[in-house]
Amino acid sequence: MRSHSCGDLRSDAIDSTVLLSGWVDRRRDHGGVIFIDLRDRSGTVQITVDPDLGAEAFAVAEHLRNETVLQVEGRVRARPDESRNERLATGEVEVLAQRLKVLNAPSRNLPFAVSVHDDEQVREELRLRHRYLDLRRERMRRNLSLRHQTVQTARRFLEDEGFIEVETPVLTRSTPEGARDYLVPSRVCGGEWFALPQSPQLFKQLLMVGGLERYYQVARCFRDEDLRADRQPEFTQLDMEMSFLDQEQILDLNERLIARIWKVVKGVELPLPLPRMTWHEAMERYGTDRPDTRYGMELVGVSDIVADMGFKVFSGAVAAGGSVKCITVPGGNDKVSNVRIKPGGDVFSEAQKAGAGGLAFIRVRDGGEIDTIGAIKDNLSDEKKAELLQRTGAEPGSLILFGAGDTATVNKALDRVRQYLAKELELVPAEAWNFLWVVDFPMFEFNADENRLEALHHPFCAANPEDLGDDPAQWSERLPKARAQAYDLVLNGLELGGGSLRIHDAALQNQVLQTIGLAQEEAQEQFGFLLEALEMGAPPHGGIAFGLDRMVMLLAGEESIRDTIAFPKTQQARCLMTSAPGGASDKQLEELHVASTWVEPEEN
């Protein structure tokens, strides 16, 4: 059907006869001569149709619509000097058509133009409904190619490092904790259900027990939770697990993997090793476990300065065991008005969305004078004022925004405001790749609703041996306060992946399960097979998983992972193209031993 790809033709092909197949991207009819931009996956080339050189081909060219599937036979020739197109990769040449054959012509108006002006966005609903058309467009073609390149680079790297790609089951069983499962009824085992995996976590550990030593998988994962721009009900992880490596070695291997991907895909040389920060420091300085380090405005704790002052909002927060922290917005006096910080304002609303009641603020004027409400000004001694300015590094013109309350809320609110203002005030440098390993996560966090400790990562993370000690008798006491050997890779404030060393000792694993209040029988029922396996010579092992969709999104400069997935779902977890999910017949349900309790809402 073809001898060459459209986008590959260069001047070295001049005078050769070529056979091309592709889509009519655009047509320019000059009456005498007709130009066709013929597009295939590789790119676009100009076809020139001259009536003097074939009346038959000219007659076909006269009635071509965009997106006609066309086969062209012709001779490559150099374009006249004045007609070269430098914006086109194939702009040196054109194909003089000798024969045109319509392979397929669209028989209706297309729902949107494939070849479209850059500044013209198409409604996403239409793009999703007719995804096959959307995939023809440059943007999606580029994104999917980039995704392919990312995966292939990872595969080659891991191949060289001795990893084996293994597939794990999609029909499996529900794993403890975590998100809502997608369930699949079993026909053969009546009344029982498969769960689709939220991740291959247990299987990859069992592969290590199985002696595979180094495993990876481009693994589809399923979580039945509400969607976001960076969340889909099914998504892909680059999932890895390895034996006989300590945390240092795992981090080293993975940052070399990431550096290789960025080198191949973006041509960017990442300086290794990547920076690191403890979880504790991240929470202190950024209020989040995934700090965006591309800009400043770090959180500064001032609880000690304001603990005793007469301003109740501040002193009360500290007295109640919470804290007072602030961020300093350089030049914020001019850029952020009072109205925006007070109720109804955009900055206020960001803080509120994070659960804060509001934001106190101080404007720093010339000579270090502060401009704020009386309740703060009147209660702040000159000494404390000086200390505040010194610690925040606030200059004249700076705006200091305060959060006060329980520490978690303060962190969350200031983190959110910081990110919002950085975007709003355009403080985020373009083209920055700020990677950061966040390490030393705590093993557990307290769940106030259920009044119990909860695994921060998952209950199979290994504890830091220093924190745990050698004496098993002390584990129950030391474990709750221990740090985990867990790590997240953060890029520009987004979590790119995370992992940990795992527990390979059955006794310790049981201790962890006890700590999170999981009963023995319950644990046996849910993943007894793992506990059993740990008793049969499990090697020390650990792993990591990267969110592939998110990684590609960042590499592609997109803002939604939908633009990195060939056939994504909407926020209602529906596929607009296939209309999935759909109904099932009574017969199907009966065979599955399932009855639906769904009741159609009444009309009117």
Binding to RNA in span 225-254, by CB under 7 A: 225-231
Specify the residue, 363 or 457, whose C-beta has the smaller distance to RNA.
457
Specify the residue, 112 or 433, whose C-beta has the smaller distance to RNA.
112
Q: How far is the CB of 563 from RNA (least distance, A)?
A: 9
Binding mask 178-217 for RNA (x = CB under 7 A): xxx-----------------xx-x----------------
| Exposed/middle/buried for residue 586 (C-beta within 10 Å: 0-12, 13-18, 19+) | exposed
Pairing state between β 214-222 and 164-165: parallel
* Sole window of 74-82, 157-165, 283-291, 423-431 interacting with RNA (rule: CB under 7 A): 74-82
Helices first, then strands: H and E counts in the chain: 21, 22
From 30, 191, 321, 587, residue interacting with RNA (rule: CB under 7 A)? 30
Under rule CB under 7 A, residue 454 binds RNA: yes
* Sole window of 48-56, 165-173, 327-335, 590-598 interacting with RNA (rule: CB under 7 A): 48-56
What residues from 100 to 159 belong to the interface with RNA (CB under 7 A)? 109-113, 117, 119-126, 128
How far is residue 366's CA from residue 389's CA, in Å, rounded to a whole number? Answer: 12
Contacts with RNA: how many residues (CB under 7 A)?
74
What residues from 346 to 385 belong to the interface with RNA (CB under 7 A)? 353, 355
Q: How far is the CB of 545 from RNA (least distance, A)?
A: 7
From 8, 29, 234, 387, residue interacting with RNA (rule: CB under 7 A)? 29
Omega of the bond leading into 601 within 30 degrees of 0 (cis): no
Cα separation of the two ends of the chain:
57
From 10, 28, 156, 342, residue interacting with RNA (rule: CB under 7 A)? 28
Under rule CB under 7 A, residue 408 binds RNA: no
What residues from 524 to 563 belong to the interface with RNA (CB under 7 A)? 545, 560, 562
Specify the residue, 180 or 294, whose C-beta has the smaller distance to RNA.
180
Helix axes 138-160, 548-556, angle to 10 degrees: 120
What residues from 261 to 300 belong to the interface with RNA (CB under 7 A)? none
From 16, 83, 381, 390, residue interacting with RNA (rule: CB under 7 A)? 83
CA distances from 242 to 253, 491, 603 (A): 11, 23, 56
* Sole window of 132-140, 205-213, 221-229, 547-555 interacting with RNA (rule: CB under 7 A): 221-229
From 11, 12, 41, 65, residue interacting with RNA (rule: CB under 7 A)? 65
- Secondary structure of 114-162 in the HEC alphabet? CCCCCCCCCCHHHHHHCHHHHCCCHHHHHHHHHHHHHHHHHHHHHHHCC
Q: What is the H or E stretch that residue 104 is in?
A: strand 93-104
Encoding tokens for residue 578?
């296939």
Specify the residue, 113 or 218, whose C-beta has the smaller distance to RNA.
113
Specify the residue, 425 or 577, whose C-beta has the smaller distance to RNA.
577
* 404-431 as b/e: b if 16+ CB within 10 A: bbebbbbbbbbbbbbbbbbebbebbeee
Residues 298, 292 contacting (CB under 8 angstroms): no
From 3, 16, 85, 578, residue interacting with RNA (rule: CB under 7 A)? 85
Q: How far is the CB of 91 from RNA (least distance, A)?
A: 6
DSSP string, 469-535: -S-GGGHHHHGGGPBBSEEEEEETTEEEEEEEEB---HHHHHHHHHHTT--HHHHHHHHHHHHHHHT
Under rule CB under 7 A, residue 574 binds RNA: yes
Q: How far is the CB of 406 from RNA (least distance, A)?
A: 14
Specify the residue, 77 or 101, whose C-beta has the smaller distance to RNA.
77
Question: Which is nearest to 322 in space by CA: 379, 400, 403?
Answer: 403
Under rule CB under 7 A, residue 168 binds RNA: no
Q: How far is the CB of 505 from RNA (least distance, A)?
A: 20
Omega of the bond leading into 197 within 30 degrees of 0 (cis): no
Tokens 């505040």, residue?
388
From 167, 177, 246, 395, residue interacting with RNA (rule: CB under 7 A)? 177
Under rule CB under 7 A, residue 223 binds RNA: yes
Specify the residue, 120 or 366, whose C-beta has the smaller distance to RNA.
120
Under rule CB under 7 A, residue 340 binds RNA: no
CA distances from 600 to 417, 596, 597, 603 (A): 42, 11, 10, 9
Encoding tokens for residue 390?
């010194």
Specify the residue, 82 or 383, whose C-beta has the smaller distance to RNA.
82
Measure the CA dihedral 62/67/72/78, to 10°: 90
